[in-house]
Amino acid sequence: MTATLNRTREDVPEELTSTVDTLTAALRAVTDPATTPQDREAVTESAKRLASALSAISDDSTPREQRDQLTVLVKQMTSTLAVGQESDLPAEDGARLLVVVERTTSALETIGDSRTPKKLRGELTAIVEEVNYALEQSRGQGEMGRTALWVSSSQGFLTESAEQPEESPTQPEQSSTPSEQSSTPEEQQDPLADAIRDVSRPMKQATDPRNSPQKRAEARDEMGDRTARMKKEQDKAASEQEQEQSQAPLGKAAEVCANAVLKALPARRLEKGLKDLTPSSWDSAGVKGFWKAREEGNEVLDIRAQLKNDEHDHAPFSIAPLIREFAELLPGEQLRVTLGRPAFYCRQTAVYLEQQGFTSGSWLGEG
C-alpha cells in the first residue's frame, strides 16, 4: 500500500500531497506490533479506499463535481484517521474512531460512481464530511463517538442500496455465502438519508469551535432529540432486508456476526467478556485483540487473535457459548444501530441456536 501511495503522490493535485504523506504515515504506524489487529485492519482498509479515491481524483475522466467532492472527503477522512492514532487518545475512543472512519470510507466508491443519483451523492458527501469533522474535533470521545458509530452503521444502508452488482452467468445464486449487498427499497432511501442528516448536521455544529458555547449546547440537544428518528428509520430498512434475505447456514451466519462484533467492540471489553472461552494457552500472555473469525462447520468458529506478547494464534470457539457472550456484551436493543447490516446474521444465528435449545441473550427481542 505504501508503494501504491508513493506512486499516487506523483499524480495527485499539489493540494493533496500532504494528505498522501499523512496517509502513508498512518499505514507505517500500524506496522508497530503494539497495534491491535482491529486497529491495523481499520487503518489498512480505510487507506485502500482513500487511495482508490485519490486515483479517481487524478483521473481526468472523473467529472469535476465528483473530483471536488472526493477531494474534500479524502482530506477530512485522512485527518480524522491521524487523530485516531494519536498516542494520548484513550484506546477505546481511538478504536471507535478508526471503526467509524473505516465505515465512512465505504461511501467513497458510491460518491465517485457516475451511476449514483445526484441527490444521494450529495447526501452521502454531507453526512461523511460532517461525521468526520465531528469525530476529529471531539476525538471520538463520549456521546459524540457513540453517535458517530450509530450514524456510520446507518450510512451503510445508503451505500449498499446504491450498489448495482453484475450477476455472474455461471453463478446466478450465492445462497451459501451471506451477501454484502442490500435490498433497501428506494422509497426508504430518502427518509433514512434525511434522518441521518438530521443527526450528522448538529454533530458538526456541536463540535465546531467557531460556534458559541450556547450554540454548541443547542446543537447537542438537537442531535440527541433526532437520534431516535434515525434509529427508527434504520430499523425500517433493516426489517425490510431481513424479510427478503435468504437464510445462510448457521456457521456462515455466525461468522459474519462474529466478525462484525469483533470489529465494533473495544478490544478490552472483548478480552474481558470472552476470558472464560479463550484457551488456557492464552492465559499467561493475555489477549491484545481478536482479529478474524472463520466458520468451521455449524458448531465451531476458528478465531485468530494477537496476544499481548505480540504473538499471533488461533483457536476453535464453540458457536453457542460464543454467541451467548456476544449477546451479553452487545444487548439486542443496541445490535442494529451498532452493527448495521451484519445484525441480521446475529439475529439469524440466535434463531438457529434457540431452535437447538441454546439461549442467546436478548438478540431475539425487539431491536
The rounded distance, in Å, linking the Cα atoms of 323 and 193 is 32
What the block records as the C-alpha cell of 320 is 453457542
Give the amino acid at 261.
Answer: V
Q: Which of 175-189, 252-266, 307-321, 347-361 has the lowest mean pLDDT?
A: 175-189
Q: Give dist(CA 346, CA 270) in Å, integer.
A: 16
DSSP state of 358: -
pLDDT the model gives residue 101? 95
pLDDT of residue 189: 54
The pLDDT-based confidence of 157 (bands split at 50, 70, 90) is confident
Amino acid (one-letter) located at 187: E
Q: What is the pLDDT of residue 218?
A: 96
- Residue 281 clears pLDDT 60, i.e. is over it: yes
Cα separation, 160 vs 180, in Å, equals: 8
Give me the pLDDT at residue 159, please: 82
- Comparing C-alpha atoms, which of 149, 163, 34 is closest to residue 102? 149
Residue ranges of the alpha helices (H) in 106-177?
Answer: 107-112, 118-138, 142-162
Query: Is pLDDT above 60 for 256?
Result: yes
Alpha-carbon gap, residue 154 to 245, rounded angstroms: 18
The predicted structure's pLDDT at residue 22: 95
Say how far apart CA 199 and CA 13 lie, in whole Å: 33
What's the pLDDT tens digit per position in 24-65?
999 999 999 888 888 999 999 999 999 999 999 999 999 998
**pLDDT tens per residue across span 125-154:** 999 999 999 999 999 988 899 999 999 999
Helix H or strand E segment including 318: strand 312-318
| CA dihedral (248, 252, 254, 256) positive or negative | negative
Categorize the per-residue pLDDT at 162 as very low, low, confident or very high, splitting at 50, 70 and 90. low
Band of the pLDDT at 171, cuts 50, 70, 90? very low
Asked if 128 and 110 touch (Cβ cutoff 8 Å), the reply is no
CA distances from 150 to 38, 64, 90, 132 (A): 18, 31, 20, 13
Please tell me the pTM assigned to this model: 0.84
Average pLDDT of the chain to the nearest whole number? 87
Give the number of C-alpha atoms closer than 13 A to the C-alpha of residue 324, restricted to the C-beta side.
Answer: 12
- Cα separation, 259 vs 224, whole angstroms: 29
